[in-house]
Amino acid sequence: MNIEDGKGTGYKGRVDRNNRIHTQSVQESEALHAAELGDGYNINTGDVTFTAAGTLAYFKNDQIEDFVVEALAIGIGTGAVSEIGTLTLVRNPTGGDLITDATAVDMNANRNFGSNQTLEATTLAYKGKSGGTITGGADIAQFYQGTNGRLFATINFILPKGASLGIRYNPNLSSGNVVAYCAVIGFLKDPESKD
């Protein structure tokens, strides 16, 4: 029996004397594959100035597909800190002015420069503020900011439709202010890859 190309080109599979079928494949990450399809996104708050503890970012997925938060990138400028700052991730928060203020993030972009696809308009991406509040939900992860002022955390959180993620930030300031930003880097999961 021959294994033939389904497109009708006449190509056949090679079977060696040990009855092994020869194939060639290309491996790439799921995130890169999603970006190639126009399903990868970078959501960035832009600069937020803190004089006290507050909120940094909020993201709610309202797509049919799961949204995979592959990583968070957080940059923190210099300031008069008493100790290193703390970031707390909140699973499915329900209230607070982080949500009610609805301050849009500065950047909400497709990672494929050739794609015009965007997230559903009902998918929410907000930036926080100094003294901002977030209520409800449950704390799910905590990070300390990097000593070099940047934190890159691979988290691979899965947000199905309706799920959300909030981020609180305590810069531990002794005086003055500090500027921070947060980027949510993620992609829509291909439903076919779940089987």
| Distance of alpha carbon 69 from alpha carbon 62, whole angstroms | 14
| Distance of alpha carbon 86 from alpha carbon 40, whole angstroms | 28
Q: Is the pLDDT of residue 145 over 70?
A: yes
pTM over 0.95: no
Q: What pairs with residue 50 in β-bridges?
A: 178
User: Band of the pLDDT at 79, cuts 50, 70, 90?
Assistant: low
User: Band of the pLDDT at 180, cuts 50, 70, 90?
Assistant: very high
| Distance of alpha carbon 183 from alpha carbon 152, whole angstroms | 9
**36-68 pLDDT, tens digit each:** 999 999 999 999 999 999 999 999 999 999 999
Ordered domains of the chain (ranges, CATH): 30-194 (2.60.120)
**86-143 pLDDT, tens digit each:** 999 999 999 999 999 999 999 999 999 999 999 998 999 999 999 999 999 999 999 9
The residue ranking higher by pLDDT, 79 or 127, is: 127
| Distance of alpha carbon 79 from alpha carbon 145, whole angstroms | 13
User: Band of the pLDDT at 27, cuts 50, 70, 90?
Assistant: confident
